[in-house]
């Protein structure tokens, strides 16, 4: 079967690998349908690492996928052959201290699909996953939406960790990529009234407007603090950073009100941020870190199935699996007004 592997910095090769033949009793074989190209995949493609997570070549990235069940392990009862499934890429051990305390997403033995040193990814035709990682969505959504569900769950989780901001609070999001837009969609689905977007790329800012951002600010041509305060009529209760940029953190601390929350979702290119401690301490800002997601898949499925969110709004490009390198180059270079690129198999 076909697979696409990273073979060096900004290098990717189409290879022929063996289709998985063995299933443990609790595992399923999945025929991949759609794969989303994620910002984190692109970090591995461009830099060969994210923080301490370093790629050993050749390696297959990819963790946002949907597919159809092609074979069942002997103990699997909750799925049937042909079922369309959303794949939760995070495989936890179930018995460590983190798992036992309701934090499987920070499991000490966590294995994540397409994460170096853990599990090979899903840029291929078939993968094997535990049945417990598969959510059946047969009549709830199509295969493309099912692959978009994983990034959306991160938006759902970020909003939950922020304490589900009340509809009349003031919220800003930095970064209108797939995660920033997912946060916006979740807040809109919750009837949140005052969510604005700060984003330097015009086409992304426009997309945020289409999805329903209350105000939009371009941090390059406008003074962020003045523009946000004017547009929103005051300072922010909550700021979500989905950009991973130092400047966004600087601006966020300026536009937050005392007692506000800064929610860090984006992955910075280096492992460090500098915080203006004078501002942060005086305003007594709460900083919340978001590690992927925990337990938000079912809520995300409900929001999509009930048509409260339309995840396809963020998709701009489609590629065949054999053209994966073109998709990665496009996303890495922010070319051709790309937001979310999808690969179909």
Closest CB 100 distance from Zn ion, rounded Å: 8
Three state DSSP letters for the chain: CEEEEEEECCEEEEEECCCCCCCCCCEEEEEEEEEECCHHHHHHHHHCEECCEECCCCECCCCEEEEEEEEECCCCCCCCCCCEEEECCEECCCCCHHHHCCCHHHCCCCEEECECCCECCCCECEEEEEHHHEEECCCCCCHHHHHHHHHHHHHHHHHHHCCCCCCCCCEEEECCCHHHHHHHHHHHHCCCCCEEEECCCHHHHHHHHHHCCCEEECCCCCCHHHHHHHHHCCCEEEEEECCCCHHHHHHHHHHEEEEEEEEECCCCCCCCCCCCHHHHHHCCCEEEECCCCCCCHHHHHHHHHCCCCCHHHHEEEEEEHHHHHHHHHHHHCCCCCCCEEEEEC
Minimum gap (Å) between residue 110 Cβ and Zn ion:
7
Nearer to Zn ion, 35 or 216 (CB): 35
Q: Would you tell me which residues interact with Zn ion (CB under 5 A)?
A: 38, 92-93, 96, 99, 107
**Residue 104 vs 260, nearer CB to Zn ion:** 104
By C-beta, is 96 or 326 nearer to Zn ion?
96
Shortest Å distance, C-beta 340 to Zn ion: 10
* Pick 38 or 264: Cβ nearer Zn ion: 38
State the nearest-atom distance from the C-beta of 256 to Zn ion, in Å: 27
Which residue, 99 or 235, is less far from Zn ion as judged by CB?
A: 99
> In the bound complex, what is the minimum distance in angstroms from residue 337's beta carbon to Zn ion?
20
CB of 107 to Zn ion, least distance (A): 3
Nearer to Zn ion, 232 or 327 (CB): 327
Closest CA to 233 of 188, 286, 181, 193: 193
171: closest CA among 255, 233, 238?
238
Name the residue nearer to Zn ion (CB basis): 91 or 134: 91
* Minimum CB distance to Zn ion, residue 325 (Å): 18
Q: Which is nearer to Zn ion, 184 or 228 (CB)?
A: 184
Q: How far is the CB of 132 from Zn ion (least distance, A)?
A: 13
């Amino acid at each position: 079967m076909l697979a696409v592997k990273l073979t060096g910095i900004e290098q990717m090769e189409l290879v022929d690998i063996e289709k998985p033949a063995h299933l443990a009793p609790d595992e399923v074989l999945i025929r991949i349908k759609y794969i989303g190209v994620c910002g984190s995949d692109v970090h591995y493609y461009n830099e060969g690492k994210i923080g301490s997570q370093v790629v050993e070549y050749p390696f297959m990235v990819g963790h946002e996928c949907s597919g159809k069940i092609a074979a069942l392990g002997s103990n699997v009862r909750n799925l049937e052959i042909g079922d369309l499934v959303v794949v939760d890429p995070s495989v936890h051990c179930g018995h460590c201290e983190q798992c036992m305390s309701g934090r499987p997403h920070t499991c000490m033995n966590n294995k994540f699909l397409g994460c170096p040193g853990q599990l090979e990814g899903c840029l291929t035709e078939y993968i094997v996953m535990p049945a417990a990682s598969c959510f059946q969505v047969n009549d709830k959504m199509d295969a493309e939406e099912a692959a978009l569900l994983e990034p959306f769950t991160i938006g759902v989780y970020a909003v939950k960790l922020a304490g589900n901001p009340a509809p009349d609070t003031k919220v800003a999001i930095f970064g209108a990529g797939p995660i920033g837009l997912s946060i916006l969609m979740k807040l809109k689905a919750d009837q949140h009234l005052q969510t604005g977007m700060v984003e330097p790329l015009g086409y992304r800012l426009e997309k945020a407007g289409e999805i329903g951002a209350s105000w939009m600010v371009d941090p390059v041509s406008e003074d962020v603090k003045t523009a946000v305060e004017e547009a929103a009529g005051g300072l922010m209760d909550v700021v979500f950073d989905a950009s991973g940029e130092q400047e966004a953190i600087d601006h966020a601390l300026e536009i937050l009100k005392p007692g506000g929350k800064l929610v860090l979702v984006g992955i910075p290119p280096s492992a460090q941020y500098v915080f203006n401690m004078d501002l942060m301490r005086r305003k007594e800002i709460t900083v919340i870190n978001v590690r992927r997601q925990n337990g938000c898949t079912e809520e995300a499925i409900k929001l999509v199935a009930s048509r409260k969110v339309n995840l396809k709004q963020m998709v701009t490009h489609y590629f065949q699996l054999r053209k994966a390198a073109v998709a990665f180059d496009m996303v890495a270079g922010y070319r051709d007004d790309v937001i979310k690129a999808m690969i179909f198999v």
